[in-house]
Amino acid sequence: MLPQFVEDSRPLRQDAMDKALGHGYHPALATWIAKEAQLDSCGGLEGFLQKNPDLYHDPMLLSGMELAVNRVIEAIQNQEPILIFGDFDVDGLSASSVLYWGLRKADPRVVPEVYLPNRFTEGHGLKPHLVREFSQRGIKVIITADCGMGSAEEILLAQSLGISVIVTDHHLPEQEMQGALAVVNPRLNGYPCDALAGVGVAYKFIHALLRRMHGENSQITQSTLINCLDYVAIGTVADVVPLTGENRYMVEAGLKHMMQSRLPFLRDYWNRKILRSDLGEQYGPEHVGFYMAPRLNAASRLDSAWPAFHFLTSVKLASVVEFGDTLENYNQLRVKRLKELRSSMAMKIHRFENIPLIVVESNSRELGLMGLLASSFSELYSRSVIALASNPSGELVGSARGIMGFNLKAMLDSVSHVLMNHGGHARAAGLRLKPEYLGEFLQALLRLEPVHFEQDLTPKTFCAWLDGAHLPEDFVDQQRGLGPFGEENARPVFALRNYRLIRHRRVGKELKDLSMEIECYSGARMSVIGFGLGNFLQEFLLLPPLVGQLEYNYFGSKRVQLQCRGIAKN
């Protein structure tokens, strides 16, 4: 069914509307500001528009920071071996990169070891055999990156073996972390921005460490912090944490700096592959979400995260090109294997009438693709999805992706008695169960009360009507100034009417997309692209009010384009 939108009927803040208009914003953007913008968390309109630097908080406000900094300085002075234990997703890789370069810059004698677990053979987090191995190799300090909160027992083991563990993470603890020397986590002790990504936590730790060792305004501190903002932008956007407050400030600074980054993976590789710099294209969250993150994730989804980490941290051009090309190949293979997996005849799909959920029994060992498989089925069926695969031990491992209004974590908590373990959030979760319990698991889901897991029935909305006759040339630039857009700071959605269709054609693979050229009543022309809307061509020939988002398109030349998402409901 063609997606339909209604106009957002929420009252706007008239004071914000008047101020935005006074700043010269187009009425449609002023309406978005007055209805949607996160003004209260940014100190009002001025703070929101200027990305108030006061939103960047003192790193020492984070829990455990004093202990963590003191112990690492002690280790540096005594030349004790330090190991960074990371996670294999983009946030974990970015956080590990920040810690790696931060420690290298803190003291030239420090070359920390890095360990990235294998998704298939080890899974997330520390394991007892790894802790014992690190101890035998003489490691004295372990700093986790985007992980650790679920490894309480392993951290206790490390403590007993004389290893100090510093946890830098942003997940909630599954149990008390008694063995950790320090737990640096924004979710603890009332830190002002509890939504930091793992890379944001690592960045704050390096800031505190460099400030203590070299001073806030030293060249080492400032240059390291500026360059590491590139990693912060990538990891924060990729982890889909709220782009409000401190996160929005750091991502904005990072995206801007990426344009003149000194990091070779950007300067010598992605800047040339991704951007049309000759047309003035600049990095935005969409470059991270649609280009960078899939390639960085592809390595660990199919094999190992190491090529991605080496790509992010290598300084030699030949190495950067080698690892970058490896990631490109992995990504192409990922697309191919996901397509094969989706069309597999061995797949079983279990639907539920009581709750908006689908369980996909893939009968596959493609553990790294289950999250993508769940996402694709969730988008296709507008249901939450659990995709199950088999690990080398024969256990069923599931990745879940959810729709708004359906709390996956709460659902899994309700059926935990048949699971080996589970964890995650409302919209993304993971689980593990023995294959002999699959039937009981499905029956437990059938018995769940639907009242506890209602689908969000709130209609999709657009914030304002666009007058195509008076759309200024700098409209998209004005809009970009309100970003970066992402979770909890969504890109404005507008509706457009009173136009005529100049041309139309179905494009893309399997002709799934729709390309159109329209002319507004003033004579102004605009290109329109509707991803996944190719099957609805007949509906668009009736000239319904279009709903979508405005952005620049850099294919061939720079021009404003409406990215159509549906139509306005009558």
pLDDT level of residue 74 (50, 70, 90 thresholds): very high
SS3 536: helix
Residue 135 scores a pLDDT above 60: yes
In this predicted structure, the answer to whether residue 240 has a pLDDT above a threshold of 90 is no
Question: How far is it, in rounded angstroms, from Cα 241 to Cα 95?
Answer: 14
Euclidean distance between the first and the last CA atom of the chain, given in angstroms as a whole number: 16
What is the average pLDDT across 129-140? 98
Domain with CATH 3.10.310.30 in the chain: 348-453
Segment 556-566 shows an average pLDDT of 91
Residues in the chain: 570
pLDDT tens for each residue of 330-341: 999 999 999 899
| pLDDT attached to residue 26 | 92
pLDDT at 100 > cutoff 80? yes
When the pLDDT of each residue in the chain is averaged and rounded to a whole number, the result is: 92
What's the one-letter identity of residue 170? Answer: H
Q: Work out the average pLDDT over 408-420.
A: 89
Short-list 238, 268, 229, CA closest to 97:
229
Could you count the other beta carbons within 10 Å of the beta carbon of residue 97?
28
Q: Which residues neighbour 393 within 8 Å (Cβ) at sequence distance 6 or greater? A: none
pLDDT of amino acid 469: 61
How far are the Cα atoms of 125, 195, 335 from residue 119, in angstroms, in the given order? 10, 25, 18
The β-bridge relationship of strands 494-496 and 499-507 is: unpaired
* pLDDT-based confidence at residue 458 (cuts at 50, 70, 90): low
CATH superfamily of 4-36+463-568: Nucleic acid-binding proteins (2.40.50.140)
* E strands present in 365-481: 384-390, 396-401, 421-424, 428-433, 460-462, 464-466
- pLDDT class of 284 with cuts at 50, 70, 90: very high
CB neighbours of residue 465 within 10 Å: 17
CATH entry, 348-453, from 3.10.310.30, 3.30.450.20, 3.40.50.970, 1.10.760.10: 3.10.310.30
Q: In which band, very low, low, confident or very high, does the pLDDT at 47 lie, cut at 50, 70 and 90?
A: confident
Q: How confident is the model at residue 429 (pLDDT cuts 50, 70, 90)?
A: confident
Cβ-defined contacts of 171-177 (< 8 Å, 24+): 171/147, 173/149, 174/149, 174/150, 174/423, 176/152, 177/148, 177/149, 177/152
Looking only at the bridges linking them, the beta strands covering 421-424 and 164-168 are unpaired
Residue 295 confidence class, pLDDT cut points 50, 70, 90: very high
Give the C-alpha separation, 153 to 177, whole Å.
Answer: 8
Residues of the chain with CATH 2.40.50.140: 4-36+463-568
pLDDT of residue 483: 92
Tens-place pLDDT, residues 393-411: 889 999 999 887 788 888 8
Q: Assess whether pLDDT exceeds 90 at residue 210.
A: yes
The Cα 568–Cα 570 span in angstroms is 6
43 pLDDT tier (thresholds 50, 70, 90): confident
CATH topology assigned to domain 59-260: inorganic pyrophosphatase (n-terminal core) (3.90.1640)
Helix (H), strand (E) at residue 569: none
8-state DSSP, 486: B
pLDDT value for 531: 93
Residue 325 predicted with pLDDT over 80: yes
pLDDT band for position 104 (cuts 50, 70, 90): very high
DSSP 193-226: -TT--HHHHHHHHHHHHHHHHH-TTSHHHHHHHH
Q: Where in the chain is the domain with CATH 3.90.1640.30?
A: 59-260
Does 427 score more than 90 pLDDT?
no
- Residue-level pLDDT at 278: 83
Residue 468 pLDDT: 67
Percentage of the chain surpassing pLDDT 90? 71
Give residue 51's pLDDT: 82
CB-based contact 366:346 (threshold 8 Å): no
Confidence (pLDDT) at 510: 83
| 496 within 8 A of 562, measured Cβ to Cβ | yes
